[in-house]
Amino acid sequence: MISDLNTSTRFLLGPGPSMVPPRVLRAMASPLVGHLDPEFLRVMEDEQTLLRLVFQTKNELTLAVPGTGTSGMEAALCNFIEPGDAVLVAIMGFFGERLAEIAKRYGAQVDRLERPWGEVFDPAEIEAALKARKYKLLALVHAETSTGALQTGIPEIASAAHEHGSLLVLDTVTSLGGLPVEIDRWGVDVAYSAAQKSLSCPPGLAPITVNEHARQALQQRKTPVGSYYLDLIGLEKYWGEPHAYHHTAPISLHYALREGLRIVEEEGLEQRFARHRAFAEMLWEGLENLDLPLLVPAAQRLTTLSTPQIPATVDDALVRRRLLDEYNIEIAAGFGPLKGKVWRIGLMGHSSRREHVRLLLGALEDILMNG
Ligand X SMILES: Cc1ncc(COP(=O)(O)O)c(C=O)c1O
Query: Considering all CA atoms of the chain, what is the largest pairwise distance in Å, rounded to the nearest integer?
Result: 65
d(CA 5, CA 18): 20
| Piece in contact with ligand X (CB under 6 A), picked from 69-77, 222-230, 246-254, 351-359 | 69-77
Q: CB nearer to ligand X: give 203 or 226.
A: 203
| Nearest-angstrom CA–CA distance, 360 and 224 | 49
Tell me whether residue 202 or residue 286 sits nearer to ligand X (CB atom).
202
Residue 74 touches ligand X, criterion: CB under 6 A: no
3-state secondary structure of 47: helix
Look at residue 246 and give its three-state secondary structure.
coil
Work out whether 174 is an interface residue with ligand X (CB under 6 A): yes
256 contacts ligand X (rule: CB under 6 A)? no
284 part of the interface to ligand X, by CB under 6 A: no
Closer of 96 and 123 to ligand X (Cβ): 96
Residues 5-64 that bind ligand X (CB under 6 A): 15-16
Q: Is 173 in the site for ligand X (CB under 6 A)?
A: yes
Residue 204 binding ligand X, by CB under 6 A:
no
Minimum CB separation from ligand X for residue 33, in Å? 26
Confirm if 350 and 19 have CB atoms less than 8 A apart: yes
Whose CA is closest to 64, among 214, 167, 196?
A: 196
Q: Does position 351 bind ligand X by CB under 6 A?
A: no
Using the rule CB under 6 A, which residue among 95, 186, 238, 279 binds ligand X?
95
**From 171, 231, 236, 330, residue interacting with ligand X (rule: CB under 6 A):** 171
Separation of first and last alpha carbons in the chain: 40
Provide, rounded to whole angstroms, the least separation between the CB of residue 75 and ligand X.
Answer: 12
Minimum CB distance to ligand X smaller for 47 or for 144: 144
Task: Please state, in angstroms and rounded to a whole number, the distance separating the CA atoms of residues 101 and 103.
Answer: 6
167 backbone dihedrals φ, ψ, rounded to 5°: -85, 145
CA distances (Å), origin 324, targets 8, 221, 306, 327: 10, 49, 18, 6
Give the interface with ligand X as residue ranges (CB under 6 A).
15-16, 68-70, 73, 95, 141, 145, 171, 173-174, 194, 203
